[in-house]
Structure 1
Amino acid sequence: MITTDQKESRVNLTVFGEFTLADYKEFEEVVNYKVKFEGPVSLFFDLREMSGFTIDMALEEIRFARAHAHDFARIAILTDDQWVAWSAWLSKIFVDADVRVFEDADDAEAWLSGIESPVA
């Protein structure tokens, strides 16, 4: 299950439990709308409550990232899981965005707002 929250030029996504293809498609709709009407957006993924993801979701994420390589400004990923952090760094291959992984929500929020965090 996911929740999304939209702000100006930004989409926040929180994942609870398993991240499925249906969840990712819902996220894509929100992002596509924002990009169409606002241009490049920043993304904030809160993955602290994610228990895993499906393979079809992971493949869709790669496809979506490649199709939108220039549509993201900054991507903050909030997690304390080293494997999720590793896959986030791998996603940097597909997008021009500045991607950073955080363990603290306040640091991620500050960075997305343009305030550099001492821990990046």
Structure 2
Amino acid sequence: MIEPIPVVEENIYAFRFRGRLTHDDYREFIPLVEDLIRQHGRISLLLELEDFRGWDTEAAFDDFRFGTRHEDDFERIAVVGDKAWERWMVALARPFTDAEIRYFDRDHIDEAWAWLKATPEPADQPPEPRPWQHVLVATDFSLASRHAVVQARRLAQLDGARLSVIHVIEEPIVYDEYGVYLPMEVDLDQALLEAARQHMQRLVEELALEDAVTEIEFGAPAATVVEYAREQDCDLIVTGSRGRRG
């Protein structure tokens, strides 16, 4: 049996659950509570368990469906009982509702009422995100990295941050017939550098990056980008998800 308990507090309602609950009990209880929710929005409940012996199968499904349908509609739920398994029942219910739910022994029912009447503490607000100060974007001049440059420019503009664009030339490795590493000729490095400068200049002109700092380095792309970011105090690195290496 479920019976209302008279309450004079605003937006707090109480019910006594007695014996073994049935589907017929929930046919009366659910419309009553849903009507209170429609009238008042989020409400708090005190549920007093007296000689409570659980639910029959259909009532258990009623209770579960009701709880999931109204998981956002309760501010606080105080459950008052006198059995250890009732305390565990409340603990198991917590993941299925956004309400604060707490169990009280019967001789602490006054504490339950006081808790329901107290003003809930505001939820902790996440700290305001710190604006970016220096955005670094790595480019290999592919289409994917071009999109990354556009995104980095947008982020820098939103936060008034500095923007740096880096391209890393990965030096070609050549081995002789015995597997010995042979450094490439300086002329090839110079040719790669000149080609990179032309690509970078074209990128600056096409994407209006005149205020950005551009940098061309030789080395392993990932390590070089990270080292540059560390040296220049960059707090955000933007890269494309696909593209050539560099």
TM band (smaller chain): 0.7 to 0.9
SS in 2 for 1:13: strand
SS in 1 for 2:71: coil
Structure 2 unaligned spans of 5+: 121-246
Work out the CA distance in 1 between the residues paired with 2:119 and 2:11. 16
Show the counterpart of 2:117: 113
Q: In proportion to residue count, which structure has more strand?
A: 1
Work out the CA distance in 2 between the residues paired with 1:49 and 1:111. 24
The one-character-per-residue Cα deviations of 1:14-49 (angstroms, maximum 9, x if unpaired) are 022212221123221111001001000101110032
5 Å-filtered alignment, 1:1-120, equals 1-5=1-5, 7=7, 8-103=10-105, 104-114=108-118
Number of positions where the alignment pairs a residue of Structure 1 with one of Structure 2: 116
Question: Which protein, 1 or 2, shows the higher relative CO under an 8 Å CA cutoff with sep ≥ 6?
Answer: 1
Structure 1 unaligned spans of 5+: none
TM-score, normalised to structure 2's length? Answer: 0.44
The one-character-per-residue Cα deviations of 1:58-106 (angstroms, maximum 9, x if unpaired) are 2211111111010000000001111122112211111100000000211
RMSD: 1.8
TM-score, normalised to structure 1's length? Answer: 0.86
Work out the CA distance in 2 between the residues paired with 1:57 and 1:84. 17
One-letter amino acid matched to 1:111: W
After TM superposition, which residue ranges in structure 1, 4 or more long, deviate above 6 angstroms?
Answer: none
Structure 1 or 2, whichever has the larger Rg, is 2
